[in-house]
Amino acid sequence: MFDDAAPLKVYGLKVSYFTGKLEAYLRYKRIPYDFIPMTAHDFTHKGRLKTGAMQMPMVELPDGRWITDTTPIIEWLESQYCESSILPDEPLCSFVARLIEDYADEWLWRPAMAYRWIHDQDARLLSHQISSVMGRNISVPAALKRWNVRRRQHKNFVLRDGFTEATAEHIKNTYIRLLDNLEGPLSTRDFVMGDRLTLADIGLMGPLFRHFAMDPTPAEIMRERAPNVVAWVYRVWAARSAKGVSLPRRVPDDLAPLLREIGETHLVALNANARAWMSGHKTYDVEVQGVRYERLQTSVYRAWCLERLQAEYEELCFEAKAMLDQLVGADGLVPELLKVEGLETGYDPEGFAPFLSRAAPVFPVVRD
């Protein structure tokens, strides 16, 4: 059985998006864990054998079971550690927190990877940091290991993820708009949705902590443009669950620009991905805020993300749906985007995640 006094083993990297997200959560909840710097061998072999997906982080529980995918991991841990929940009870707040998490996980991945791999200073530093940890047991010259990491990440997560001359500015400005949308709210309160940490903060830590706040180029921009976001990143990292402050019961009005942005970008892309998946297309094109992204990889994982958001949205009462539409600022846009008639991915119908033995990675094809 699960022994909650023994530490979890978290395999990941100190520069990894999703490892940073999970660690921020575990620290907040005071869940003991040992961090194990992941090797390339762990990534491929443990990934394939224990969870079916080569992705980080992977977690080994004290009872020997393995789990992957931070979204269901956090959901499952919330059911085991009920104190100091990070999920608001109020249904609209809960939906908005999940929506922000999904946007942070899936939409902000592209600008986070672009900022890391298109600028020489960031790419040099990060290829060194990643290859010296993941490749520590591989006897190949260090320069070759660095080159290989840089080439792999740039090819898969920049060039093959829609970064072109036509989209470059839009991708870079996605980050700038994120900072602008958060700076105001975070100058008036401690966390994104109120004075208590929620899933929205944990989700946003993925891109904002280990990428945007730490990679040299975006970190410089953040310090200059959004000092309250810098302070928030480290406030979340330092936060420990405490009694006394209540979870939000109302979505703050000043989150409207962020929610509008999520509607115009992430929901449009999720919708197009789900339609492509249903028609059996391996890639799809989508126009986002007037910019055309081409040949994006269709992802069953992201179709499942939409399926889950759609199910939670359906649970909202009429007033909550109307309020959400108002916050997103486009009449009828939200239900339209969330609704993909007949979407049934068949991914995890029994609700086994994060314990799936064949978890789906976000990108079905990643080439070495």
Q: Residue 356 or 362: which CB sits closer to ligand GSH?
A: 362
Token couple for 326:
């108002």
Half-sphere exposure of 268 (CA within 13 A, CB side): 18
d(CA 130, CA 13): 8
* C-alpha dist (Å) from residue 203 to 141, 260, 311: 37, 18, 19
As measured in angstroms, the least distance from the Cβ of 30 to ligand GSH is 21
As measured in angstroms, the least distance from the Cβ of 158 to ligand GSH is 12
Q: Residue 65 or 250: which CB sits closer to ligand GSH?
A: 65
Q: Residue 106 or 261: which CB sits closer to ligand GSH?
A: 106
As measured in angstroms, the least distance from the Cβ of 218 to ligand GSH is 16
> Which of these, 306, 337, 307, lies nearest to 321 by C-alpha position?
337
As measured in angstroms, the least distance from the Cβ of 352 to ligand GSH is 15
As measured in angstroms, the least distance from the Cβ of 190 to ligand GSH is 25
Q: Residue 263 or 354: which CB sits closer to ligand GSH?
A: 354
Q: Which residues contact 194 (CB under 8 A, 6 or more apart)?
A: 245, 246, 247, 248, 252
Q: How many CB atoms lie within 10 A of CB 66?
A: 21
Q: Residue 288 or 362: which CB sits closer to ligand GSH?
A: 362
> Which of these, 243, 249, 266, lies nearest to 105 by C-alpha position?
266
Q: Residue 297 or 324: which CB sits closer to ligand GSH?
A: 297
Token couple for 59:
């977690």
Buried b (16+ CB within 10 A) or exposed e, 147-178: ebbbebbbebbbebbbbeeebeebbbebbebb
As measured in angstroms, the least distance from the Cβ of 65 to ligand GSH is 16
As measured in angstroms, the least distance from the Cβ of 118 to ligand GSH is 17
Q: Residue 17 or 175: which CB sits closer to ligand GSH?
A: 17
DSSP strands (E only) in 245-355: 283-288, 291-297
Token couple for 236:
């979340």
Which residues in this chain contact ligand GSH in the complex, by CB under 6 A?
A: 16-18, 54-56, 69-71, 105, 361-362, 366
Buried b (16+ CB within 10 A) or exposed e, 216-230: ebbbebbeeebebbb
Q: Residue 105 or 201: which CB sits closer to ligand GSH?
A: 105
As measured in angstroms, the least distance from the Cβ of 209 to ligand GSH is 11
As measured in angstroms, the least distance from the Cβ of 125 to ligand GSH is 16
Pinpoint the alpha helices (H) of 189-317: 199-207, 216-225, 227-238, 256-262, 268-278, 300-314
Q: Are 117 and 217 in contact (CB under 8 A)?
A: no
Q: Residue 71 or 167: which CB sits closer to ligand GSH?
A: 71
